[in-house]
Amino acid sequence: MAFIFATISVEAAPNNIPHKPDYSHPKGTSPWPNYGERPKTNTPEVKAWIKLVDWSKVPKIPVRDVESPGDPPECPKGDVPKEDCWWTCTGCFAPDDIVDCPAKNAWGLTFDDGPKPGTTENLLNLLDERKVTATFFVTGMNSMKAPWLLQETIDRGHHLASHTWSHSGMTTLTNEEIVAELKWTEKYIYDHTGYKIKYFRPPYGDIDNRVRAIARQLGFKTVIWSSEWDTQDWQLEEETITSRQIIGIFKNDLQSLPKRKKGVITLEHDGDPKMTVMARTLLEMGQKNGMKPMDIAQCLGDKVGYNAIPAPPPKLKSAKKPNSDIVKKPVPTHDDDENENDDNDREESDKDDTPMAAQVPPHTQSESSNSKEESVPGSISGKAVSPGKKPSDAQRSYNTAGLSVACWTLAALAVSLVL
């Protein structure tokens, strides 16, 4: 334990990553909802999305009370109807709620509330170092501040999912507001990456059967987390918990692993440097106890992980140039042999050109064989030639000059012998 405490006592490494431009827009100029506000429900986009839902299949459960907009709801003093299956106040899970991984020891690693410039990059670096992938449940609002991090997260092998637009308690929203929160987040991620998200996690885990029915009809699968596997790291930012307390909670959770028949899904956050430091400690503890971290798609055996992904570009054959574009060869010179070799080299190079494949998450890629570059040993003017690299014009000239001097020397020697 001394080692663990030494680890968490170290502050997060200073953030030297240059931040990219702020992509948020002044109010009224953005094609998206205004930053810092809930999406409006009277826009043409939301009106069209509302029509996607069969409202006769949505239970008539009342909107929950909340003290302040954006906060989790307040539980009533009386009993909550069992048919509501309201997780926040009863801990109820619906049959299709995703709360654990099917395989024993599988660890669904998830981070909520990003992206955040600097913090997200540091977290991605940690996951690269540990050679594991995770699911990032991002909010639409935070994505507006760092849209480039959406594609970077995918490019580095991870999985994106929705944490709604404004991080409001879902049961505190009207039906129309729920639609707007889910669909605007989906659209923002799709427009910036080409990936159409499949999974969503309600902020605070706040969900009931009304919210589920709407999300289900819009094509989303609900992910919460395994009971007792909330790491409580979100309290680090508020300084309402210590690092030692979080480690103690996680250690107790690890003791229950041998009795579990399934894997777990944990809740962590992407928002504060202290959370990244804690993520390292928890990863080390979990892996030492046989847990196998992975993103939610891998945890569920979902080979795609999205409702739609970018199609790879078609493989194009090299088109022949029309006669009008053919360039006539120059007048032959004493370097004809060299020019002929250069043309052959260029033709061979053209044959190797292939279109770049579209970015696909690691769980959708097939293994590709690594092409080995053919080594061409040799030296010119005493300098080794890099494998597969042609000598420069200056090197050719130097070599030609050297051969010419050698030939003249031999000729002079032959003449002197005859005389």
DSSP secondary structure letter of residue 270: S
User: Max alpha carbon distance in the chain (Å)?
Assistant: 125
| Contact predicate 290/337, CB 8 Å | no
For residue 221, the cross-strand partners are 199
Q: Which of 100, 112, 208, 295 is catalytic?
A: 112
B/e letters for 267-290, b = 16+ CB within 10 Å, e = fewer, are: bbbbbbbbbbbbbbbbbebbeebe
Instruction: Clarify whether 363 is annotated catalytic.
Output: no
Q: How far is residue 232's CA from residue 354's CA, in Å, rounded to a whole number?
A: 48
229: its two tokens:
């596997």
271: its two tokens:
């928002």
Instruction: Clarify whether 269 is annotated catalytic.
Output: yes
Edge-to-edge strand list for the sheet holding 106-108:
264-265, 106-108, 292-294
Q: Please enumerate in sequence order all residues whose Cβ is within 8 A of that of 63, keeping only pairs 6 or more positions apart, or say none.
A: 171, 172, 173, 174
Q: Which of 159, 163, 167, 269 is catalytic?
A: 269
Q: How far is residue 342's CA from residue 386's CA, in Å, rounded to a whole number?
A: 17
Residue 353, Cβ neighbours under 10 Å: how many? 8
Q: How far is residue 353's CA from residue 351's CA, in Å, rounded to a whole number?
A: 6
**Where does 141-194 show beta strands of DSSP type E?**
159-162
Q: Please enumerate in sequence order all residues whose Cβ is within 8 A of that of 305, keeping only pairs 6 or more positions apart, or say none.
A: 159, 198, 199, 295, 296, 297, 361, 363, 364
Helix boundaries (H) for 26-118: 44-50, 87-90
Q: How far is residue 320's CA from residue 329's CA, in Å, rounded to a whole number?
A: 17
B/e letters for 360-391, b = 16+ CB within 10 Å, e = fewer, are: bbebeeeeeeeeeeeeeeeeeeeeebeeeeeb
Q: How far is residue 390's CA from residue 396's CA, in Å, rounded to a whole number?
A: 10
Residue type, 101: C
Query: What positions carry a catalytic annotation?
Result: 112, 269
